[in-house]
Structure 1
């Protein structure tokens, strides 16, 4: 085995062990929300479902977006761990191309490249569908998806439509997991 093959196998094994979703080949290129208005998107969103993510281990997951004076967006993600502790992380999101404002990059650590954050669909008042995907040397990709809501619940009808939207984009919806949004009073 070459060093590159060993690296790929190790990375795939680590990703699988952490319940990440990875697929062969390059990332799908789903269409994003047309005429996305980042100002309307501001505020708090609660995670309803997601593709597994190693960096999310708790429940009551939520994200709050706020405008910054330089035109970027403050991102505050938080969750409740099983030991009762609230953990959070701060980041910054920025529109990557003004002609496609629904395609943002998010950074939580200086010196680390921005992670993709694509808003595929939102009505701004009740739901949002977000997708992120990173290619690895053309051999495979790791993707993330989040179904978000302005409240801690979302109707099955809306969730079903968002599943269909993800599936039509080539995302494996069978891997989506429901986020526990019960007992979250300590988060407010």
Structure 2
């Protein structure tokens, strides 16, 4: 039993190295009440985030498009001077709570939580995702998104406060690089 426990951690630790792990299960933050999916669709720029192994570039943005009963999700970044895109699928996990989306970028992986904690639909949105690992600890992901490549500092501070009030530790949140994005590669 001890050996299997050690082996599990030997494989899991490298996967979460750049993430933000915390002891215990995921928190259950409140999500946007009366969320309207259609209004959320469109282009969102990443302003700040908790570190994520899968996001290493700059000029990160995501475009959401309704396609029948699902959501087409196209995320892009510039990494080492090259524009990289990945396409995924999103769904509403619970029709009674449409702010709780699930997103996957692979047909073989399950949907990951993508919860809209807050949005005004036209300026900014706060998104949270959390994955429990053996119910011993969890890995957080959090993003401050904007319809433009910048947000006022006061808006970012209010966003950070909203995460904190929902027991989401954003002390390691970093600003995303959105400079020089409109230049040709």
TM-score if structure 1 supplies the norm length? 0.94
5 Å-filtered alignment, 1:46-61, equals 46-61=45-60
What's 2:22 paired with? 23
What's 2:35 paired with? 36
Moved over 3 A (4+): none
What's 1:76 paired with? 74
Size of the aligned set, in residue pairs, is: 184
SS of the equivalent of 1:2 reads: helix
Deviations for 1:96-146, whole angstroms, at most 9, x for unmatched residues? 111000001101101211011000000000000000001011111011000
5 Å-filtered alignment, 1:26-175, equals 26-68=25-67, 70-81=68-79, 83-175=80-172
TM-score if structure 2 supplies the norm length? 0.95
Instruction: Give the stretch that moved more between structures: 42-51 or 169-178.
Output: 169-178
In structure 1, C-alpha distance between the alignment counterparts of 2:120 and 2:10, rounded to whole Å = 40
Deviations for 1:78-102, whole angstroms, at most 9, x for unmatched residues? 0011x21000100110001110000
Gaps of 5+ in 1: none
